[in-house]
Amino acid sequence: MFDALSERLTAVLDRLRGKGALTEADVSAALREIRIALLEADVHYQVAKELIATIRERAVGSEVLESLTPGQQVVKIVRDALTEAMGGDRTALALQKRPAVILLVGLQGSGKTTTAAKLASSLAKEGRKPVLAACDIHRPAAAEQLETLGTALDLPVVARTDPDPARIAGGAVAWAKANGRDVVLVDTAGRLQIDEEMMDEVGEISAAVEPDETLLVVDAMTGQEAVGVAATFDERIGLTGIVLAKLDGDARGGAALSIRHVTGKPVVYVGTGERIDRLEPFHPGRMADRILGMGDVLSLIEEAEEQLDQTKAEELIDHIRKDKFTLQDFLEQIEEMQKLGPVSQILERLPGAAKLKGRTADDADEQEMKRTLAILRSMTLKERLNPSIIGGSRKKRIARGSGVKVRDVNRVLSRFEDAKRALKLVGGRRGRNKLPADLLGNL
């Protein structure tokens, strides 16, 4: 989402870092480029203006211009200003009651229903016992969609039991109390635009359940329009936070940078993909790092700890120590890494991500990953456990089964042998110590 903005800001700041000394004119020229980059990214004009004023005030001073590393100082100032604009510290949900109630509101098509399921899944992983309430009685199949998502997550859904959405929501809270559930997520109806009927309905639901949190779900791809929608909802029903959905889409990033500054309401979560696990807590500092091409390694580590199978990792380490690393291990590790999302999403969490973007299609091609998986899955289990038996006729069969050329099969086998040699070397050096996580990631 921030590709264009990140590339522009990274280029500007790299030029400043490359200078041995900075003048006020250097800073002013850089700030003009930063301002243009922010406006082109659809950042609200008032936010862009105040950001530039803040950076100028902090950067044009003797302690910066006369320091030994003025470029680095300016980078830190820009990073801090972006972090402050997006809210400063991470804002967690305040769920005090039992059951606590989270009311999800927003326009039609913003992703409320999917976000409700994603948030329920996230809370369940934290040890909560959520229940979903389907209070959208207007959109065809809205309740059915939520029930399907709830079934996939093994979570209960209270659907239409009454033509009144407020009574459905109230019934869901009563059901949660009776069945030992501690969080109720209420999915409400949206419209193509804000109208009195929608606001009245949401207001009645809110009055019926007295939510701990009222979260506005906005489509990040709507840009500055999302800021206006948030301001209106906050004025009419009172928001406690915002969820930016579709942050992985083809958008310019303006909503993420503007919405907290304009509305005063924190962004609490961001949706980064269609999968049910693609919902992340919003950390302003980490997002600022990503925008400036510094990566977000902390979030990547947290996701890896949550998603990856530790038992399989331990089995892999044991195989490496005993020099029994096979194509089956190779396949399982690639499948594990896929849990972290597309290669492009992993790359953008790494420092220098903006500079890697141009190489993604060649060096970390998603299609290459899919070809490798197809080749490995076209092998029999016997072949994956005993790669030495894969001769010419077997390679031809594997190539036909995976829809590739024999040379592609040879390339995968060659990469496997390279990985096996490297792992054997490192495993031998480290003895019985655990192998580093970055080495496992390179598989």
What CATH number did the domain enclosing 384 receive? 1.10.260.30
Tell me: do 247 and 113 sit in the same domain.
Answer: yes
The reply to whether the predicted model has a pTM over 0.85 is no
Residues 273 and 341 in one domain: no
Same domain, 13 and 141: no
266/313 same-domain check: no
Cα angle value 175/178/183 (rounded, 5°): 60
Class of residue 171 by CB neighbours under 10 A (exposed 0-12, middle 13-18, buried 19+): middle
Longest dimension (CA), the chain: 73
353 and 436 fall within a common domain: yes
pLDDT digits (tens, 9 = 90+) for 163-182: 889 999 999 999 999 999 99
In a domain, 182, yes or no: yes
pLDDT digits (tens, 9 = 90+) for 196-231: 888 889 999 999 999 999 999 988 777 777 888 888
Amino acid, single-letter form, for residue 334: I
pLDDT of residue 299: 55
pLDDT digits (tens, 9 = 90+) for 311-369: 666 665 666 666 677 888 888 777 777 666 665 565 555 555 455 454 444 444 567 77
CA separation, residue 73 to residues 17, 34, 62 (Å): 9, 16, 12
pLDDT: which is higher, 345 or 46: 46
Same domain, 79 and 30: yes
Higher pLDDT, 417 or 162: 417
In this structure, the answer to whether residues 236 and 320 fall within a common structural domain is no
Give the residue among 215, 187, 201 at the shortest CA–CA distance from 112: 187
Residue 290 lies in a domain: no
Q: What is the tens place of the pLDDT at every residue in 363-419?
A: 445 677 788 889 999 999 999 989 889 999 999 999 999 999 999 999 889 888 877
Q: Same domain, yes or no, for 267 and 137?
A: yes
Do 322 and 268 fall into the same domain? no
Half-sphere exposure of 22 (CA within 13 A, CB side): 29
Same domain, 118 and 267: yes
Residue at 221 is within a domain = yes
Q: CA 27 → CA 66, 76, 129, 209, distances in Å?
A: 13, 14, 52, 52
- In the chain, the number of structural domains is 3
| CA-to-CA separations, 24 to 31, 46, 67, in angstroms, rounded | 11, 23, 13
Identify the domain boundary among 19, 52, 85.
Answer: 85
What is the dihedral sign for C-alpha 296, 302, 304, 307? negative
Whole-angstrom Cα distance, residue 317 to residue 213?
Answer: 44
Cα 335 versus chain centre, distance: 19
Interhelix angle 3-17/284-291, rounded to 10 degrees, is 70
Q: Which of 317, 321, 339 lies closest to 329 in space, CA to CA?
A: 317
423-440 average pLDDT score = 47
Shared domain check, 361 and 253: no
Please write the tens of the pLDDT for every residue from 79-92.
888 888 888 888 88
Residue 381: which domain range? 302-441
Q: What is the CATH number of the domain that holds 53?
A: 1.20.120.140
DSSP state of 194: -
The residue out of 33, 55, 85 marking a domain boundary is 85
Distance CA(278)–CA(97), nearest Å, equals: 27
Whole-Å CA distances, 97 to 116, 131, 265, 311 = 19, 14, 21, 37
What six digits make up the tokens of 224? Answer: 């500055």
Say yes or no: 276 and 307 in one domain.
Answer: no
CA distance 111 to 100: 22
Domain boundary among 223, 255, 283: 283
Measure the CA–CA gap between 358 and 336, rounded to whole angstroms.
26
Checking if the pLDDT of 70 tops 70, the result is yes
